[in-house]
Amino acid sequence: MTIAVKFFASLREEIGKSEINIETHKPMEIVTVWAQASNNALLPDYMLIAVNRKYVDKNTLVQDGDEVAFFPPVTGG
């Protein structure tokens, strides 16, 4: 199974990549995807998360072929 993981805005710089693929043998929760993609960093509560372009929470299960995107909160005026 392959899960595509994308990082946007300042996360690209923090992680050092804009996209990676994670290989797994079973579905996994978003928190596990984040841990593998971020070198076991804790998932911040304020993180915005989308799976296949729909916002989800950190307990969502991710399946083979899904695209997971992580966004820092956006502010502006």
Residue 52 near residue 69, CB atoms below 8 Å? no
CATH number at residue 16: 3.10.20.30
Q: Residue 30: inside a domain, yes or no?
A: yes
**CA–CA dist 59, 30 (Å, integer):** 6
> What would the two tokens of residue 47 be?
């993180």
Tell me the residue range of the domain where 29 lies.
2-71
Please name the amino acid found at residue 74. Answer: V
What global pTM score does this model have? 0.89
Look at the alpha carbons of 58, 23, 12, 51 in this order and tell me if their dihedral is positive or negative: negative
Q: Residue 77: inside a domain, yes or no?
A: no
Q: Residue 48: inside a domain, yes or no?
A: yes
Q: How would you write the pLDDT of the chain (77 residues) with one tens digit per residue?
A: 899 999 998 888 888 889 999 999 999 999 999 999 998 988 888 899 999 999 999 999 999 999 999 998 876 55
Q: Residue 76: inside a domain, yes or no?
A: no
How many domains would you assign to the chain? Answer: 1
Q: Residue 41: inside a domain, yes or no?
A: yes
